[in-house]
Amino acid sequence: MSLKLQNGTRLVAATHNPGKAVEIAALLDGRFDIVSAGDLGLPEPDEIEQTFMGNALLKARAAADRAGLVAIADDSGLSVAALDGAPGIFSARWAGPDKDFGHAMKKVEERLEEVGSGDRAAWFTSALAVAWPDGPCVVVEGRVDGTLVFPPRGERGFGYDPIFLPEGRDQTFGEMDPAEKDALSHRARAFEKLKAALFE
Ligand code: IMP
């Protein structure tokens, strides 16, 4: 079978977040007919794997097999070198049920103080998986390296953006023009790899 995706193919975005489904559709250049797992009433699987790729694959596989359609899923987060890669796959969970990233960024700062390391190296990872129903999967990962800054800087972006200074830049993701972030982000890099693998 071909692992290329033809324009107009119906794809399930394995997410219950309507904003994320729209973002995925745009990052795939509007080539596909995207429906979200939420729209199809599919259950949300527990993210029980230990890696970004593992969780992306698990979500794509579950949606593809349930829906009988090719599915795409992502998993992403911030990893801090001095914290052995934390929060990593737990990035969203560190913000708690209220999705309070002020709290999550504070927690990163406190953990760094606890370990007493001056190492501020960190990176964002985005894993993307595409699964065919009862068939193969393709998975790719994009990464952007940088350093952490405290206090947080900038009101733009989301999540941990205000504490992340990408390598070679003097503005955090929270200060940067969104188009500039989109040009170098982990997500953009992962989508480039996915498109190279799957587009005709
Ligand atoms: P996911 O939606 O389960 O993949 O969770 C990803 C979490 O990682 C988000 O809630 C953010 O906390 C964090 N994250 C991922 N990408 C970014 C980014 O580009 N900027 C800031 N935080 C991010």
Q: How far is the CA of 159 from the centre of ligand 1 (A)?
A: 6
Give the active site residue among 46, 74, 75, 161: 75
What are the angstrom distances between the C-alpha of 9 and each of 30, 73, 132, 141?
Answer: 11, 16, 12, 23
pLDDT score recorded for residue 66 = 97
pLDDT in tens, 5-54: 999 999 999 999 989 999 999 999 999 999 999 999 999 999 999 999 99
pLDDT in tens, 146-172: 999 999 999 999 999 999 999 999 999
Q: How far is the CA of 75 from the centre of ligand 1 (A)?
A: 8
pLDDT score recorded for residue 200 = 73
Half-sphere exposure of 160 (CA within 13 A, CB side): 33
Average pLDDT over residues 158-187: 96
Shortest-distance Cα residue to atom 22 of ligand 1: 159
pLDDT in tens, 79-109: 999 999 999 999 999 999 999 999 999 999 9
Q: How far is the CA of 160 from the centre of ligand 1 (A)?
A: 7
In whole angstroms, give the CA distance from residue 157 to residue 175: 8
Q: Is the pLDDT of residue 1 over 80?
A: no
Q: Is the pLDDT of residue 2 over 80?
A: no
Ligand 1 contact via 174 beta carbon (within 6 Å)? no
In whole angstroms, give the CA distance from residue 172 to residue 106: 16
Backbone angles phi, psi at 6, to 5 degrees: -80, 150
In whole angstroms, give the CA distance from residue 156 to residue 159: 10
Q: Are 56 and 77 in contact (CB under 8 A)?
A: no
Average pLDDT over residues 128-145: 97
Ligand 1: nearest atom to the Cα of 74? 4
59, 76, 124, best to mutate for ligand 1 pocket (most atoms within 8 Å of CB): 76
Ligand 1: nearest atom to the Cα of 104? 12
Tokens in use for 26? 């745009």
Ligand 1 contact via 77 beta carbon (within 6 Å)? yes
Q: Going by C-beta distance under 8 Å and a sequence separation of 6 or more, which residues neighbour residue 115?
A: 82, 83
State the pLDDT confidence band at 3, using cuts at 50, 70 and 90. Answer: confident
Ligand 1 contact via 87 beta carbon (within 6 Å)? no
Active-site residue flag, 145: no
Ligand 1 contact via 92 beta carbon (within 6 Å)? yes
